[in-house]
Amino acid sequence: MVELFEILTYPNEFLKKSSRQVENIDEDIQLIIDRMAATMYQAPGVGLAAVQVGIDLSIIVYDISPKDEKPDLQVLINPVIVESNGSTVTENEGCLSVPDLQANVKRHEFVSVDALDRHGNSVQLEAKDLLAIVLQHEIDHLNGVLFIDRISSLKRNMYKKRVKKQIKRNERKKA
């Protein structure tokens, strides 16, 4: 059984960090990937960036396979969007680090991504639809951007107020 990570949630400041490039893909990186994957599946989510579990390395894991099919874990190290075009609006985009909120987010319809796989092999992906959305969302995390940074200021401020109230309630319960 792989030990799970704790998923950081808004307003944790670590989520605003930009991730460092992975320099050496060694056993430690493989263990991080395995723990990230287990954490993502347990949550459950379709993607997870290392920054979301308190690690400032440029690693994402994702699996967009239908729930009734065999899992298809994908790993990208040091991913970079090299091309994007088209415009689409995701419906009800959510995030493990932003609980209890789903919102429409403007994303590109198509992205091209360069990265390394978990073995250090160069990978070029051309993605559209759900995969393009997941890649943009997770790569945003690596750059310290949350999906709430991409929604209307009204919705963002409403969410922030709700979280502040929840934090105050929890602090009162502890006191």
Which entry of 23, 83, 138, 171 is annotated as an active-site residue? 138
Q: What is the DSSP string of 23-92?
A: ----HHHHHHHHHHHHHHHHTT-SEEEGGGGT--B-EEEE--S-TTS----EEEEEEEEEEEE--EEEEE
Omega into 44 within 30° of 0, i.e. cis?
A: yes
Cis (ω within 30 of 0) for the bond into 66? Answer: no
Cα–Cα distance between 49 and 147 in angstroms, integer?
A: 13
Q: Answer yes or no: 138 catalytic.
A: yes
CA 16 – CA 164 distance, rounded (Å): 18
Residue pair 33/47 in contact (Cβ under 8 Å)? The answer is no
Catalytic residues: 138
